[in-house]
Amino acid sequence: MQNHPVLTDNDPQGETTTLNLGPTHPATHGVFQNVLEMDGERIVSGVSTIGYIHRAFEKIAEHRPFYQITPLTDRMNYCSSPINNMGWHMTVEKLLGVQTPKRVDYMRVIVMELARISDHLICNGILGVDTGAYSGFLYLMEEREHIYEIYEEICGARLTTNIGRIGGFERDFNDIAYAKLDKFLKNFPPILREFEELFNRNRIFIDRTTGVGAVDAETALNYSWSGPILRACGVDYDVRVNEPYSSYEDFDFEIPVGTTGDVYDRFIVRNEEMWQSVRIIEQALEKIKKEPKGVFHADVPEFYLPPKEEVYNNMEALIYHFKIVMGEIDTPKTEVYHCVEGGNGELGFYLVNDGGRTPYRLHFRRPSFINYQMYAPMSRGMLLSDAIINMSSLNVIAGELDA
């Protein structure tokens, strides 16, 4: 274990230097600025500045109808955009009282768990790069490409997916998608096992990561942490279990928790979550087979955007299309908070609706934003190189941080 004496402002060992880390530092994987007060290699204090890609999502959302907000949610946590899409759709469905068929729920679960895997793949791969092991990253990026190929079959896009509609999906999974899913489920576990063999018992990696950024559960809760980094501290809070959405209650999976909350525990928790995600996807594929074929959206023509070919050939579809696009559907004047377990934690949507075409107010509870605020306080007394891996294990996504 490394021993990090915490320096206070009163007893710096000699002179301190100011180091401006960011906003375009390559080691930070995004636009984060931290002005650090350094005593040699140790950080005495730090100030985080954020907002370098603030894009005013919440203001834009007040000017967009519900179905046009999905592309905005894509660009929040772009490492796992399907989770954001689905979270937003489920929020609106909760508001409108739409019940989705089980098959749609299972399809969503498949897509969301794929997204969780791709999110954790990036995080753990980058953590490997930052601790000096580039090869793990290359292994994982290859697998992430396969996940993107599955997305492409489902929706046509790779990264900013815009999967689904309010009420379900825009189209059914095709046979190639199922074939690619099967192939992925066959090929991914050996790769992940190989990756774990490279890292989990690796002396250098363990020495480099254990004890770094250790956080106890109480502090983590006090800072409103959520997601894998909270679970690494030993708190078994997972929205999928606490408030199951999209029929997660039908699945058999475990919530991995850590003990010390350090970088190593976060790494292990994320790895284990990938295994659980694989398990969930396998179960979902089994469950889908038992559901009636060809159901991929709820039967709610007043909320579900009809396919274009029907709009052009079918009077009723044209009317509904017109009503949805022009915002002439009555929606309840109320407020709703819905949250999903995003790649980084509890991703919440707080929607206040006044019955108009657009939301009156939409607030995103962005886990990266809330998780990141502890970064500067927890960096005190750390080595600079430890602070870097601490940041990559927090997996702060700039788009989600700044909104």
Query: Which CB, 235 or 394, lies closer to other proteins?
Result: 235
178 vs 350, beta carbon nearer other proteins:
350
Determine phi and psi for 157, rounding to 5 degrees. Answer: -115, 165
Q: Which helix (H) or strand (E) holds 192?
A: helix 175-199
Q: State the DSSP code for 295.
A: -
Closest to other proteins by CB, 265 vs 402, is 402
Q: How far is the CB of 12 from other proteins (least distance, A)?
A: 22
Name the amino acid, one letter, at 228.
Answer: P
DSSP summary character for residue 165: B
54/308 with CB nearer other proteins: 54
Q: Please, what is the angle between helix 175-199 and helix 263-290, to 10°? A: 160
**178 or 223, CB closer to other proteins?**
223
Residue 76 neighbours by CB under 8 Å, 6+ apart: 57, 84, 364, 366, 397, 399, 400, 403
Residue 135: φ, ψ to 5°? -65, -35
| DSSP secondary structure of 349-371 | EEEE--SSSS-SEEEEE-HHHHH
Find the shortest distance in angstroms from Cβ 247 to other proteins: 18
Distance CA 214, CA 217 (A): 10
Query: Nearest Cα to 150, choosing from 140, 137, 159?
Result: 159
Taking the complex as a whole, the smallest distance from the CB of residue 373 to other proteins amounts, in Å, to: 4
Q: What three-state secondary structure class fits 18? A: strand
Q: What tokens were used for 280?
A: 């969930």
Query: Which residues, at least 6 apart from 226, have a Cβ–Cβ distance to it below 8 Å?
Result: 237, 344, 345, 346, 367, 370, 371
> Please, what is the minimum distance in Å from the beta carbon of residue 356 to other proteins?
13
Q: Please state the closest distance from residue 101 (CB atom) to other proteins, in A.
A: 21
Shortest distance, position 246 Cβ to other proteins, whole Å: 16
Q: How far is the CB of 320 from other proteins (least distance, A)?
A: 25
Residue (163 or 311) nearer to other proteins, CB: 163
State the minimum distance, in angstroms, from the CB of residue 30 to other proteins.
7
Our CB check for other proteins shows the closer of 241 and 319 to be: 241
Reduce the DSSP state of residue 257 to 3 states and report it.
coil
- In the bound state with other proteins, the residue whose beta carbon lies nearer, of 77 and 209, is 77
Cis amide prior to 23 (ω within 30 degrees): yes
Q: Which residues bind other proteins (CB under 8 A)?
A: 23-26, 30-31, 50-56, 58-60, 62-63, 71-72, 74-75, 78-79, 94-95, 122, 137-138, 141-142, 144-145, 148, 158-160, 219, 221-225, 235, 237, 242-243, 334-337, 339, 346, 348, 350, 352, 360-361, 363, 365, 369-370, 373-374, 377, 398-399, 402-403
